[in-house]
Amino acid sequence: MLDVQNQPDHRNIAIDKVGVKNIRYPITVLDRANGSQQTVASINMYVNLPHQYKGTHMSRFIELLSEYSGSINISNITDILEEMKLRLDAESAHIEVEFPYFIEKAAPVSGAQGLMEYAVAFRGSLNGEGMDLVVEIGVPVTTLCPCSKEISASGAHNQRGMVRLAVRFKRFIWIEDLIQMVEGSASSEVYSLLKREDEKFVTEHAYENPMFVEDVVREVARNLSEDRNIVWFTVDSENFESIHNHSAYAYIECDKRAPKA
C-alpha cells in the first residue's frame, strides 16, 4: 500500500515536534517501599520531522509505548527516547509522562494508615546535545500565617497549599525523597486519614511552625542547594488562602550549573 507519510513535502519547513498527545495508559513505575506501583498516566510522545517528509508514523509511538508499559521510570527514559529516534528516524525525541503516585502514609500519633496522592511527571528530551530529564512533583502542604499569629490575641489562620517542584539531577533519585523534603519545609504535612489525637498534633505543630509562601520556597531551595546531586530546580508554592479571596504565591529558580558572577 502507498506510504503517504514518506512522500516528499516541498514547502521546505521542518517541524520541531510531531507525535501523539494525551494517551491515557496503564503503566508500572518504581516504588521505594513496594518495588513497583501500577498507575495510569497521561503520555505525550514527539520527534522532530525533517522538512522533506510529509508526516511521521504515529502508530510506531503506540507500538513502542506498549513494549515499555510494564516499566516506565527515571532509569529507562533514555532507552525509550533512543528507541523513538531509531524507529522514527529522528534527530530528537521527547516524552512527557504525567501520573498520580500513591504513598501509604501513617498519621503522626495514631499511626492510622491512608493513601496519599501526589502528582508526578517525567519530561525527557534526547537530541544531539544529549539527554535532558526533568522530574516534577506536586505536594500538598499546610501553612500557618506568621502575621496572623503575631497580631491575634488567640489563634491564627491557616490554609492548605500546593508546592510544585521540578529538578534536574546527576544520579537516580527517589520520588519519595523529594516529597519528604517538601513536606518537611512547610508548617505541617497533609494526611489522608487523621484521628482526633492526630488532628490535635497537626494543628499544634502548624501553630508552632508559622510560614509564609516565601518561607516555604526558601526552605525547599535551601535544601536543594545543599544537595550535590541536584543541578537545577524550580520550586513554587501557592497558598489557597482561608481568609482572602485570592491565593498567595512565590517562585524560585536556580541553575547550579551556571557560572557564578
Percent of the chain with pLDDT strictly greater than 70:
96
User: Average pLDDT in the 141-160 region?
Assistant: 91
Q: What is the pLDDT of residues 40-61, one digit of tens each?
A: 999 999 999 888 878 788 899 9
User: For the ranges 7-16, 22-31, 181-190, which has the lowest average pLDDT?
Assistant: 7-16
94: confidence class by pLDDT, cuts 50, 70, 90? very high
Q: What is the pLDDT of residues 213-237, one digit of tens each?
A: 999 999 999 999 999 999 999 999 9
**Amino acid code (one letter) for 59:** S
Q: How many Cβ atoms are within 10 Å of 220's Cβ, its own excluded?
A: 24
Q: With a cut of 80, say whether residue 260 has pLDDT above it.
A: no
Q: Please name the residues in contact with 170: beta carbons below 8 A apart, sequence gap of 6 or more.
A: 228, 229, 231
For residue 167, give the C-alpha cell. Answer: 529538578
What pLDDT does 212 receive? 94
Q: With a cut of 80, say whether residue 8 has pLDDT above it.
A: no
For residue 111, give the C-alpha cell. Answer: 499511626
What pLDDT does 259 receive? 74
Distance separating alpha carbons of residues 85 and 79, to the nearest angstrom: 10
User: Average pLDDT in the 80-97 region?
Assistant: 94
In residues, how long is the chain? 261
Q: What is the mean pLDDT of the chain?
A: 92
Looking at per-residue confidence, does 7 or 119 come out higher?
119
Distance separating alpha carbons of residues 234 and 103, to the nearest angstrom: 23
Task: Quote the pTM value.
Answer: 0.90
Looking at per-residue confidence, does 162 or 58 come out higher?
162
Q: Give the residue carrying C-alpha cell 508514523.
A: 57
Highest mean pLDDT among 1-5, 26-30, 252-256: 252-256
Q: How many Cβ atoms are within 10 Å of 35's Cβ, its own excluded?
A: 8
User: Average pLDDT in the 165-175 region?
Assistant: 95
What pLDDT does 3 receive? 65
Beta strand pairing call for 35-49 and 130-144: unpaired
> Pick from 131, 126, 120, 118: which is nearest to 168 by CA?
131
Beta strand pairing call for 35-49 and 93-106: antiparallel
Domains belonging to the chain, first-starting first, are 15-255 (3.10.270.10)
Distance separating alpha carbons of residues 40 and 28, to the nearest angstrom: 8
> Pick from 246, 251, 180: which is nearest to 213 by CA?
251
Distance separating alpha carbons of residues 212 and 186, to the nearest angstrom: 9
